[in-house]
Amino acid sequence: MGPSAIVLSSLDLFFTHDSGTVFFDGGEEVSLSCPENPDGKFLERIAPVICKKRKFLKGYDDAAVEEKVKGREWSGILGLGSGMTPKGDDFLLGYSLFSREKSFMYFFGSADFGSRTNLLASFFLEFARNKKVTQSVADFAEGRNARLLEEGASSGLYTAWGILEGCDIVVS
């Protein structure tokens, strides 16, 4: 059983992973099976941009995050990396929105974020667990714009990478 609701800053958005249907507070219905723009290629077009930005920003901790992601070592990703919110946590936040991987869903549903990462990251992860995201994350996830990529030193970029991986779009 997947998540049941995402709450945006001032707009409630309800969906189920099974149907991919999204219901906005105002009654508007949108598909959220995986992000797409009108031509259906938003994420496919943005993936190379994310890849280039990640290579440009590569730091000492990036290889460790990538290795843990490839190995699906969810617990090892939590709190891993530099930044006000660690890169691993940013990835997990994005990945949590679309992943149906059972091992991940179990980990994310039961993780004690407060003891494994900093206060700010824990705050955002707890909100993500309850399907609450910022407007920029929702805009990216709905294929409206890529402003998320400009957030923080690397937070938006790693969150976007998590969204892409959660939708099974490879970013290498």
Token digits of residue 79: 């709190």
Question: What integer pLDDT is reported at residue 153 of this predicted model?
Answer: 87
Note whether 136 and 69 are within 8 A (CB): no
pLDDT, mean of residues 132-159: 88
Question: What integer pLDDT is reported at residue 56 of this predicted model?
Answer: 73
On the question of pLDDT at 28 being above 70, the answer is no
Q: Which of 157, 163, 43, 2 is nearest to 93 (CA)?
A: 163
Higher confidence at residue 50 or residue 91? Answer: 91
On the question of pLDDT at 117 being above 90, the answer is yes
- Of all residues in the chain, the percent with pLDDT exceeding 90 is 37
DSSP tag of 73: -
DSSP tag of 164: H
Among 29-38, 43-52, 78-87, the range scoring the smallest mean pLDDT is 29-38
With a threshold of 0.85, does the pTM exceed it? no
Higher confidence at residue 23 or residue 100? Answer: 100
Higher confidence at residue 56 or residue 104? Answer: 104
Token digits of residue 84: 């006000």
Residue-averaged pLDDT of the chain: 77
Question: What integer pLDDT is reported at residue 107 of this predicted model?
Answer: 95
Question: What does the domain layout of the chain look like in residue ranges?
Answer: 34-166
Confidence of residue 50 (pLDDT cuts 50, 70, 90): confident
Among 5-14, 55-64, 84-93, 127-136, the range scoring the smallest mean pLDDT is 5-14
Question: What integer pLDDT is reported at residue 15 of this predicted model?
Answer: 35
